[in-house]
Structure 1
């Protein structure tokens, strides 16, 4: 399969402006493709990963991957996907975000000649208002611009002139990369179709109708329940290990629904057709084994964080399953148990019954005593059955945490004051 056929099989292709022309351009020699990412945060998230996976496949097909770190467009705000105007960040914050995101891009794409990161502020920031209006504004028809989906969807609620002009800026980006980096293809989500075609039109206006310029868009990715991928719990899954730990990242993929896992294996991994087809059979025949989910978690976590992160995530999962958690490090405790109910714990030793009630683990001393005597309570991985036991917060995890388990699965984290 060629690049486009592979995308189609993986469910990663929504629209292409000129499939035959793009195939010929890719066959004639190495060309560039780009994805733009506006630095609205200090980390990219799995939503950003969607177009980046397509760009990575383009790179693996022997071509050059280019990412625009949108220092210029990020100061304006892309109207697509939003019902209201974006909150503008300070230029200092945008620059900090650009630098932070660059490190993540380099982990995904490497440091070779077939990859580069550019900042569109290098050219957009040099344009005067007069040059913008004279050299570019004259080339865009308002009548055409307001019919683009990204603008039309906002007309009833209202759209500022600032965000209205975003498609012009994105068109300038495409043309600049066409000139500077031999970029012939722009890749984006399906909501970017109008912006992408505006850029192609600009290139044809400035460079001639025969100038090779193409666009590929990706379908909107939805979970099987109809919710937007990655947003079902309302919390972003970040690629920055400080924002979302590799363990949490691994667990996100491991917990995918059987109805979604094959789709995500196709989209987010570089496994072959045969490998994915075999895993699809496993989903149907042995769903309880969750082999497909585990492979998905392994592959995506390895791509983003490396093999060592996969190994640690699986070790932590096994420790959590077995209850053998007494030897976990403070950082691992923070990674694994950051989302469990927590309470403040005093630094001195306290009777276990009082400790459980004061921490809200148990509702009453009677219930606390019963659970302890029945072997339902573990403290820092050790089962406690003596109601006279003293919980010493200084005994584990550098005196920072006390980890309580009630029953088989219910955890509570005492944070030592």
Structure 2
């Protein structure tokens, strides 16, 4: 099966260039393809999963994925989708972020034996001579065409406007494509729908300079059924770094997916067969909850490994009760289908000293000090709205205190809202 059909069937593709020729290019593995990742943080997040999974599908179909980290362009900042200029990064921060990103990509893509590559455009951008670059590359770009690109239009219409340094971004990204076509015979660039203008500019530059046909694919913006951008929660981004978003919290993000999103998310964010995924639309009730558990398990296993996914399932079972997952529901999943009854070792946990518990701690102060809320005001609002529970007992007043007697077996299980849990352990000494 041509990988183009795989990506279409699973919902990855919004637009392509030269589809017939692209199909021919992808019919002869190994073809090279690349996606750029901005090194703006040391971790990627759930919003990056569509491009990551697309590279993984490319590799599974015999092609060679290239992950480009923008060590050079990261010093400028992509204006796409932004109403204000991005913060400029130092080379040291970019190098640190690049290391973190490669480690996370390696969970999804096999970089061994040259099966995939991680490249940094700083290798060819930082040494460019300005006049030579303008003469050799800049002459192929029309300002009239560039300012019509959606990524530039948004900024031109904003109060801040478009900085000249950002205006160069499209040319530099197109140059990346040209360099990879020359050095890696890479003729396909993929990216989010906001990258269409940049990708087309690269396709055009490769054609003009090398007289070769290059191609582009863009992915749709993934939103939940309620219209929220994928990966955004009340706590902010859902990170792939387990230090920022624990595997248990990651599992819970997926298990709390809306019923209407489950089939689509299975297609995009797991490798389970489509003939099994299509059967999901027939399910409801307890069976649909089993499907959500499988979605959460498979997504967590990909991002954090099997052990972390198994631990998250056991932790959830200890809090909400285990369930037997029928063998005929998504049978290719590796999830343990027997009820889990082990301890909640993967539930996010904090510690408090016994000496502090004896004195008594205001619930508002406790929630804030443990990082469970962003502010004391948020803690007060949640308590007043009846959304805070301590060991299944609702906190009735913002003046309530946690004391030594509040702990059960030296623990308090805090619940915020319906689905957020956090364990606080009382310790005798530091």
Same fold (TM over 0.5): yes
| Alpha-carbon shift at residue 132 of structure 1 (Å) | 2.2
How many residue pairs align between the two structures? 376
Provide the residue aligned with 1:24 in structure 2. 24
Q: 1:404 to 1:313 in 2, by over 3 A?
A: closer
Do the aligned partners of 1:3 and 1:58 also contact (CA within 8 Å) in 2?
Answer: yes
Match of 2:197 among 182, 194, 197: 194
Q: 1:138 to 1:247 in 2, by over 3 A?
A: same
Q: Distance in 1 between matches of 2:414 and 2:342?
A: 12
Do the aligned partners of 1:377 and 1:406 also contact (CA within 8 Å) in 2?
Answer: no
Q: Distance in 1 between matches of 2:141 and 2:182?
A: 20
Provide the residue aligned with 2:2 in structure 1. 2
Provide the residue aligned with 2:130 in structure 1. 129
Q: 1:407 to 1:44 in 2, by over 3 A?
A: closer
Q: Distance in 1 between matches of 2:20 and 2:415?
A: 62
Provide the residue aligned with 1:291 in structure 2. 290
**Structure 1 SS opposite 2:310:** helix
Match of 1:413 among 386, 400, 424: 424
Q: Distance in 2 between matches of 1:90 and 1:407?
A: 38
**Structure 2 SS opposite 1:185:** strand
Provide the residue aligned with 2:303 in structure 1. 304
**Structure 2 SS opposite 1:144:** helix
Provide the residue aligned with 2:348 in structure 1. 336
Provide the residue aligned with 2:12 in structure 1. 12
| Alpha-carbon shift at residue 177 of structure 1 (Å) | 0.8
Provide the residue aligned with 1:143 in structure 2. 144
| Alpha-carbon shift at residue 390 of structure 1 (Å) | 5.8
| Alpha-carbon shift at residue 228 of structure 1 (Å) | 1.2
Answering whether residue 412 of structure 2 is matched by residue 403 of structure 1, we say: yes
Answering whether residue 332 of structure 2 is matched by residue 313 of structure 1, we say: no
Do the aligned partners of 2:196 and 2:218 also contact (CA within 8 Å) in 1?
Answer: yes
| Residue pairs, 1:252-267, within 5 angstroms | 252-267=253-268
Do the aligned partners of 2:36 and 2:70 also contact (CA within 8 Å) in 1?
Answer: yes
| Alpha-carbon shift at residue 224 of structure 1 (Å) | 0.8
| Residue pairs, 1:5-154, within 5 angstroms | 5-112=5-112, 113-154=114-155
Q: Which ranges of 4 or more aligned residues in structure 1 deviate by more than 4 Å?
A: 322-329, 354-361, 375-378, 389-393, 404-412, 414-417
| Alpha-carbon shift at residue 15 of structure 1 (Å) | 0.4
Q: 1:206 to 1:415 in 2, by over 3 A?
A: farther
Do the aligned partners of 2:80 and 2:195 also contact (CA within 8 Å) in 1?
Answer: yes
Provide the residue aligned with 2:183 in structure 1. 180
Q: Distance in 2 between matches of 1:392 and 1:20?
A: 67
| Alpha-carbon shift at residue 3 of structure 1 (Å) | 1.7
Q: Distance in 2 between matches of 1:326 and 1:295?
A: 18
Provide the residue aligned with 2:169 in structure 1. 166
| Alpha-carbon shift at residue 348 of structure 1 (Å) | 6.5
Do the aligned partners of 1:79 and 1:150 also contact (CA within 8 Å) in 2?
Answer: yes
Q: 1:359 to 1:134 in 2, by over 3 A?
A: closer
Please list the CA deviations of residues 147-198 of structure 1 after superposition, one character each: whole Å capped at 9, or x if unmatched. 1111122211210111111010100111111111121111101110000000
Contiguous gaps of at least 5 residues in structure 2: 323-339, 368-379, 381-390, 395-402
**Structure 2 SS opposite 1:314:** helix
**Structure 2 SS opposite 1:350:** helix
Q: Distance in 2 between matches of 1:190 and 1:295?
A: 29
Q: Distance in 2 between matches of 1:357 and 1:81?
A: 40
Q: 1:200 to 1:288 in 2, by over 3 A?
A: same
Provide the residue aligned with 1:384 in structure 2. none
Do the aligned partners of 1:190 and 1:217 also contact (CA within 8 Å) in 2?
Answer: yes
Q: Distance in 2 between matches of 1:256 and 1:15?
A: 26
Please list the CA deviations of residues 207-255 of structure 1 after superposition, one character each: whole Å capped at 9, or x if unmatched. 11xx131000011111111121112425111111111111111110110
Provide the residue aligned with 1:366 in structure 2. none
RMSD: 3.3
Provide the residue aligned with 1:386 in structure 2. none
**Structure 2 SS opposite 1:103:** helix
| Alpha-carbon shift at residue 61 of structure 1 (Å) | 0.9
Contiguous gaps of at least 5 residues in structure 1: 364-374, 379-388, 397-401
Q: Distance in 2 between matches of 1:320 and 1:412?
A: 11
Q: 1:313 to 1:30 in 2, by over 3 A?
A: same
Structure having the higher Rg: 1
| Alpha-carbon shift at residue 131 of structure 1 (Å) | 2.4
Please list the CA deviations of residues 320-372 of structure 1 after superposition, one character each: whole Å capped at 9, or x if unmatched. 2359999666xx4xx5257xxx9x65526739xx67889879x9xxxxxxxxx
Q: Distance in 1 between matches of 2:363 and 2:192?
A: 51
